[in-house]
Amino acid sequence: MKLGFLTVCLGKMPLEEKVKWASENGFQALEVACWPTDNDRDYSSNDIDVANLTEKEAEKIKALFKQYGLTISSLAYYDNNLHKDPEKRAFINNHFKKCVDAAVMLEVPMVGTFVGRNIDKSIQDNFGEYEDVFGKLVQYAEDRGIKVIIENCPMVGWQMPGVPGTISFTPELWEEMFRRVPSKNLGLNYDPSHLLFQLIDYYALIKEFKDRIFHVHAKDAEVFDDKLKRYGIYDKQLNAKHGDGFWRFRMPGLGQVDWDRFINELKEAGYDGVISIEHEDPLYEGSEEKVKEGLLLGKKHLEKFI
């Protein structure tokens, strides 16, 4: 296994600086963010302009990673591929395809995204649209030798307060996702933190979905029992902000995921890919120094088991 991180946490820092810092601090891979240049989403960045990437620029990026002894584990573009607005959906779908094209040029094996959701429809009714949209997107990637990975985040409140913004956040939904689009090039960017706060057994699912776990996000979470008993499973409803409710994200080792057990389960299932830290810990945000401190804390904890 290799240890890396998702580059969005270091914001607009130039890619070369991110690669240099990662190498100097013992990371082996980066999950490189490829959102559009005109983008204002949180937890996103534009480290590679895939819309305008040329073969010449791709060669420079490959040389940069080779110089510092790192690999690119995945290109990351997590957006709503089932957006209810046809024009916005088309733009997102097309940008995903540009990420696939860039992955080919950069010799990167996979592209990560969200399924998303048409928020005007139920989760069940979204699957008809999913089958059409992702049938085409996954085929586009498969034809070019690229795998598609879906992060299992519910994105509650992304489009509507208190409502999941994706349709791919539990094993029940993964089964339907793979049934509708059975391509072996479609898999998961498996993140235990999202399962932990949903009270789902994320250890047992590793064996069950071992053939679909292509990439792993190392993000921890902690559940506050007192707040869970007060707010319940629907969580805080009034004046709620990200992290205000009965749980919050943490760096690996500072939450409730047993990373020793988790990584051993991955090894037993035959996983030998990248463990990529996704930094969303609110206690290690706010400055470049705090973000780096958080990344190094996560790395120090995870490398004991890798």
Instruction: Name residue 4's beta-bridge partners.
Output: 29, 276
**pLDDT in the model for residue 37:** 85
pLDDT of residue 243: 75
pLDDT tens-digit profile, the chain (306 residues): 999 999 999 999 999 999 999 999 999 999 999 999 877 777 778 999 999 999 999 999 999 999 999 999 999 999 999 999 999 999 999 999 999 999 999 999 999 999 999 999 999 999 999 999 999 999 999 999 999 999 999 999 999 988 999 999 999 999 999 999 999 999 999 999 999 999 999 999 999 999 999 999 999 999 999 999 999 999 988 888 777 899 999 999 999 999 999 999 999 999 999 999 999 999 999 999 999 999 999 999 999 999
Longest dimension (CA), the chain: 57
DSSP H helices in 182-279: 192-196, 204-208, 225-231, 259-268
Structural domain span for residue 19: 2-302
Read off the CATH number of the domain in which 80 is found.
3.20.20.150
Where are the alpha helices (H) located in 8-73, listed in sequence order? Answer: 15-24, 55-67
CB 167 within 8 A of CB 115: yes
For residue 127, the number of C-alpha atoms closer than 13 Å in the C-beta half-sphere is 13
DSSP state of 227: H
Q: What is the DSSP letter of 255?
A: S
Looking at the structure of the chain, the number of domains it has is: 1
**Residue 72: per-residue pLDDT:** 98
pTM for the predicted model, two decimal places:
0.95
Query: For the stretch 97-131, what's the b/e string if a residue is b when 16 or more beta carbons lie within 10 angstroms of its beta carbon?
Result: bbbbbbbebbebbbbbbbbbbbbeeebeebbebbe
Question: By the 8 A CB rule, do 80 and 116 touch?
Answer: yes
User: In the prediction, which pLDDT does 254 show?
Assistant: 98
